[in-house]
Structure 1
Amino acid sequence: MSHRARTNQLLYQAELLLAQSAVSVGDEHDMARRMAGEEGALALLELALSSLLDEIAVVARWPQSSWRERLSSPPAPVAEVEQLRILLERPDSWLSQLVGDIDRLQGEAGAARREESRIRGDGLIIAAAANASLVERLTEALVAFKAILPGLRESSVEW
């Protein structure tokens, strides 16, 4: 399988996991299933980012290295990587947020969060969907990743 096909496959699989993690079965495993889906999708997005940088590295004939090294200090200037680096430097960009989530995923606490609930004085339960923001960030990152991908590929084909 080519790097291009692998990148596409990983993005598709991440999309499937995000959609699946939103489905509630109504059993005691719902929260764990949702958290697993979120973290699984996040891991697949990291692999897709790595695969994209592999696509670029093959065309640019770069030596083997990690996606983080290629993004932080590429062996040679390449327009596609510079575009990604600019995105990464902006704290509000999808790529910057995705890398932050990847860092949390690899940390001790992980990236997905349990929903916290409180019981009010009248006995009603208030649920705070703290981790809905992770699903939203990952969905936004996936959409933005897929949107930028054709442009990155088109310019790399040109040279």
Structure 2
Amino acid sequence: MDTLNHKNLQRIYTHACSTYPEECCGFIFADGTVHHGVNIQSELNRRQPDIHARTAANGYTFSVADTLAMNRSFRSGNPVTIIYHSHPDVGAYFSREDENKALFMGKPAYPVAYLVVDVRNAQAKAAKLFQWNGKGFACIHEFHVNEENLTTHPRS
């Protein structure tokens, strides 16, 4: 099953728009089920601003329940294959913060790809899919939203 089909991208775009101006986060299971996560970054910032300098306006952290569900999935027949989050008003790119969260001791923490959604003024504009290539995270696919039409562009 193509997990990043039109229907799932629309679900993710709707999620990103609904949390604007904060980042959304979630994941997609191998069977195509989209899980809308809960971003607790602002809560972490309120509790320990010296440790968690970012708020949900420019960062995301999954809730404990989301993290447990994702970790359990890797020991099941239906693992998470894509983690997604949005970037409000700054574009779809894999930031240094995104890379820091995705790596553990220089290697990917999870066997997944990462989708970053560009959302501006509560409107989804585009998304990019990133995958580890052995050296870093590279964009392997771009998705553009043109009014009512969704177009995709593979990267080479």
More RCO (CA 8 Å, sep 6+):
1
**Higher gyration radius (CA):** 1
TM-score after normalising by structure 1: 0.27
Larger proportion of helix: 1
Larger proportion of strand: 2
TM-score after normalising by structure 2: 0.27
